[in-house]
Chain A
Amino acid sequence: MGGEMTTKTMFHIFMAWNSEKEERWLSEQERAGWHLSAVRCFGYTFEKGAPADVAYRLDWGPSCRKDGAEYLGIFRDAGWEHLGRRGTWNVFRKPVVNGVVPEIYTDPESRIAMYRRVIAFLVVFLAVMVSQMGPQIARYDSSSGSGRIPFVLAIYGILAAFFLYGIARMLIAISRLKQGRPGLD
């Protein structure tokens, strides 16, 4: 056939605390000539073209959806192209010109505020997991016959630990920003 692949759709998920790693990964794709053409629920579609130097930024969007047009308008006016949403995350890109990497957050305070919005969301998830574990533990105590931890309780426990880990990562990133260092890795 000999036809070169010109588009690729990839499954690619990320956790909030890895969002800046995801941004760098998208820029690497761009440098390899793969331009993001569509944002999917669990991944991306890329089109093959010339290598380019482009900054990608993932922003945890406004809590109030009806303000979306004003939010996107301010990003558009500042030269950022909106490629789509993944849940609450918005994917933006802007070319790097003369080595100047553009930023959507230009002071640590506003970036910290964004991280705090992410943490508030993670805390809700954690609270749900913990509240679900309560009744499971009660049941486990009363059925003292078997020594095995019930499967459902184990799942809730693992998820709760996962969200707790995420919250810890975001809090560490905030304290780094307050010391004038980069936030997330």
Chain B
Amino acid sequence: MKNLEGIARKFLPLSEATYLILASLTEPRHGYGIMQDVEAVSGGRVKLGPGTLYGALTNLLKQKLIRRSGETGAGGERRKVYTLTPLGEKVLVLEGERLASLSRLASDVTKRLGGTTWAAK
């Protein structure tokens, strides 16, 4: 387990789509749930196409950052549910720390140059 952080670091930095998908999976969700959540938390800016989402989920499963934790619905409307693995959680935390320190810098620089940051709005 000591090794987990070392393995997790190799996945950084994440693409924006990957970060948003992992962040969405702090709660178990099915594919459609991820699409809706990502669109909502990004304020409608990021709309994941189904090809992009399915490809990302396949990759994340292969990399063992997420796992399938069951199914919802019945018959033709059955959907697989995805959850973070401990490795996925670690990757999300490390990337979050990286982005947060970047974001503090961005906030300072932007204010100094006369721009507005989210905090000032």
Contacts and interface: CB of A to CB of B under 8 A. Distances in A.
A77 B32 contact: yes
Given A70-B80, A104-B50, A109 B32 contact: no
Nearest to A79: B50
Interface string B52-70: 1111101000000000000
A107 B31 contact: no
Interface residues of B, number: 21
Contacts, number: 64
Contact of A78 (B32, B55, B56): B32
Contact of B35 (A62, A77, A105, A111): A77
Interface residues of A, number: 23
A57 B54 CA distance: 15
Interface of A: 57, 59, 62, 69-71, 73-75, 77-78, 80, 102-107, 109-111, 113-114
17 contacts: A62-B58, A70-B80, A73-B32, A73-B77, A73-B79, A74-B31, A74-B32, A74-B50, A74-B53, A75-B51, A78-B53, A80-B50, A103-B49, A104-B49, A104-B51, A106-B17, A106-B46
